[in-house]
Every structure is written in C-alpha cells, then in structure tokens.
Amino acid sequence: VELVESGGGSVQNGGSLRLSCTASGFTFDDSDMGWYRQTQGNECELVGSFSSPDHTYYDDSVKGRFTIAQDNAKNTVSLQMTNLKPEDTAVYYCAAGQASLFKLLVPCRTLYSGMNYWGKGTRVTVSS
C-alpha cells in the first residue's frame, strides 16, 4: 500500500499550487480521501476530505480557496490551492479511510479506526 504526494514547492503570497496523491495497493474506489497538514511540529490538522462530489469537507481556513477532487480512474486525489497565504505553509499529507471518522486534529501519520493509510507528505512554503 502506498500513497505518494507530489506538487509541493515554494510560492508567493496569493499564488497557487496543485498537490496530487497517487494511491496503490488498495481498492481506491472504496476509500474516502483526505488532506492533512502539519505546521512547525504541531499535530496534523484536517484540511479537507472527499467522499463524493456531494460530500466534501473543508476547514474554515481554506474554504473557497482549496478544492479536493478524486479521480478513481487514475487512483489519484488532488488538492488545488489558490490564493495561498503564508499561514498555509506546512507539510501536506494525503490520507485514506472513512471520511466521517477523520479526526480534525491528530498526530501526523497515526492510524486509528477510520484512518487506514497516510502518505509521507510534501512541503508547501508560501512567502510573503
């Protein structure tokens, strides 16, 4: 089983980035997907999750700026980030499990009931 994130990097305040997560080794269609982020050694906070186009969740801090999309044909989930701010600077992790059980705040890469897999993360830096 593997979740591999890509697309991180450095961007100016107000810029955009698109993160991708490619999954392998499990039935992607049966999994909900989520994106977490970790700032400065803190716990991971849930940025957003995707169960279906009609069932998504976004943290208030990213609503209207970030969009999650899942492509079952390609086994990928993306996080489109626009109007990035310095406070979005973090390591972003892809996760798979049951979205209704995703914890809003959790030690990064911790497995628990409803959380099955984590990626290794990709760093995003937003400069002012």
pLDDT tens per residue, range 73-85: 999 999 999 999 9
Q: What is the pLDDT of residues 20-48, one digit of tens each?
A: 999 999 999 899 999 999 998 899 999 99
Contact 44, 106 (CB under 8 A): yes
- Measure the CA–CA gap between 36 and 34, rounded to whole angstroms: 7
Residues 6+ apart with CB under 8 A from 41: none
Query: Quick check: helix, strand or coil at residue 41?
Result: coil
User: How does pLDDT run across 93-124, given as a tens digit for each residue?
Assistant: 999 999 999 999 999 999 999 999 999 999 99
